[in-house]
Amino acid sequence: MAPKRLDWARAGREVKLRRIEVGWKSQEDAALAAGVGVTPWRKVEGGLRTSLGTRTRVAIALGWPPDMIDRIAAGEDPPVVYDGDRLTALETRFGQVEAMVTELRNFLLRSQP
């Protein structure tokens, strides 16, 4: 069976929509917040595949899980992100990251001989 084709254009459209939701009027502001260059950000929004590191930083800056851009390209819908209260949103995200770190730590401990 052939692997499923990834729709980077769809992912780029969702990134742009989320950027506007977050309140970044320009790609320059968004790129600065994400810690990536403007050109890589434009490539993501333009539907071009970029490095995993760029996609990860963009997703995190948008308040998404690190692999969300790839998941959107694979057909998954973007998550609904609560932005009503920025502090609450950050606390929620921190809790998610903390849980992922704990899960990774436990996995690594189980993997040791």
- Tens place of pLDDT for every residue, the chain, 113 residues? 555 789 999 999 999 999 998 889 999 999 999 999 999 999 999 999 899 999 999 999 999 999 999 999 999 999 877 656 666 667 777 777 888 888 888 888 998 87
Residue 61 and residue 17 in one domain: yes
What integer pLDDT is reported at residue 69 of this predicted model?
97
* Same domain, residue pair 51 and 91: no
Looking at the fold, whether 29 and 60 belong to one and the same domain comes out as yes
> Do 76 and 95 belong together in one domain?
no
Quote the CA–CA distance of 68 and 56 in Å, as a whole number: 8
Decide if 56 contacts 66 (C-beta within 8 A).
yes
Which domain covers residue 26, as residue numbers?
Answer: 1-81
Residues 6+ apart with CB under 8 A from 103: none
